[in-house]
Amino acid sequence: MAHLYGREWTRANLLRHVGDLAQVARIQPVRLAGGRGDGMAALEVDAGDGLRFTVLPSRCLDIAHCAYRGVPLAWISRNGLVAPAYYEPEGDQWLRSFFGGLLTTCGLRNAGPACDYAGERHGLHGRIGNTPAEDVSAGGEWLDDEYELHISGVMRETHVFNEDLRLIRRMTTRLGGRSIQIHNRVENRGDQRVPLMILFHINAGFPLLAAESRLIAPDRAVAARDAGATEGLADHARMAPPQAGFAEQVYFHDVRADAAGWARIAVVNEALELPFGRGLGLSVSWRRDQLWNLIEWKQLGTGDYVLGTEPANNRAEGVAAAAQDGTLEFIEPGEARAFDLELAVLVGQEEIATFEAALPESLPA
């Protein structure tokens, strides 16, 4: 049943009160106007009981703004929303169109810094996040007494005489729900074996992110990327106020999975005072057998104030480095790979405590 306005609703009872479900929940197509986002297609999703988010078909069906009962959860970069026409693939110029948001997808053949590999120059974090979707579908349907809102589409990363990769994405949420399920399927429709690097850049921002915030992660091990991050390793899970000139810190987490194979972490702010209670969090769940690494991107600069939690099948050090250290994965002709995520809102200190208490103490055998 749908949880709305403090009670549970069956399909029959809810439809006695409304003639069009768009009165309480909807996916509204819009087109942005003005600035570098001019002309971009967007889908405004209202799940009906406080969860609202913006999906961008023009940008890989990634998620830009996201809020719960008016409280922002996601960081939006100083770039704002930028259309793919402004994408610059050279070097680190990806950063000129990086909007942050709740989700930015990186890959599909490079994640991490620009590098040369197999005679090709790869830009920072690859091309897929600036690729428009096609065959986009958005709507809703009743599943017994649950109403599901869904969005789907296909992104192509292709090159004549070379790769033919498709990212097929389906995103769902429920009427009255507080979670977003994202199923990703990467298919190799070409005739060549191709490197596959995928990283889901999930970006928590103010006011969820504040000096009092912390990262909850059932780690088996945490490693710093470099010497600068090593200095902050002991406090990697604790946040701080914005600092001018803050140098990013990156950590690799070996996160324990539960008996069903799901790894779960959360960014929480238990001190955040809200009209509906104290404490708010964002949990991230993924299949550990699909995405073996969690990258923590801790950037507490002024204006650039964000904590990225990034499930990935790589260490985000670039395709050349992955090939050299033996961690590079490939996708064969005709092969398909699935990558599943769930993003959910945690409301109140009690719910945060329950989430943390349920995390696994060890990896299943």
The pLDDT value recorded for residue 365 is 37
Residue type, 218: P
CATH of 2-357 given 3.60.21.10, 3.40.50.720, 3.40.50.620, 2.70.98.10: 2.70.98.10
Confidence of residue 361 (pLDDT cuts 50, 70, 90): confident
Q: Is the pLDDT of residue 362 over 90?
A: no
Q: Is the pLDDT of residue 364 over 80?
A: no
Give the pLDDT confidence of 51-73 residue by residue, as tens digits: 999 999 999 999 999 999 999 99
Considering the chain, what percentage of its residues have pLDDT values greater than 90? 99
Phi-psi region of 30 (alpha: psi -120 to 50; beta: other; left: phi over 0): beta
Phi, psi at residue 351, to the nearest 5°? -65, -40
Give the pLDDT confidence of 218-261 residue by residue, as tens digits: 999 999 999 999 999 999 999 999 999 999 999 999 999 999 99
Give the pLDDT confidence of 72-102 residue by residue, as tens digits: 999 999 999 999 999 999 999 999 999 999 9
Give the pLDDT confidence of 134-166 residue by residue, as tens digits: 999 999 999 999 999 999 999 999 999 999 999
The torsion angle over the Cα atoms of residues 166, 172, 178 and 179, rounded to 10 degrees, is: -40
Give the pLDDT confidence of 120-134 residue by residue, as tens digits: 999 999 999 999 999
Neighbours of 179 (CB within 10 A): 15
Domain boundaries, the chain: 2-357
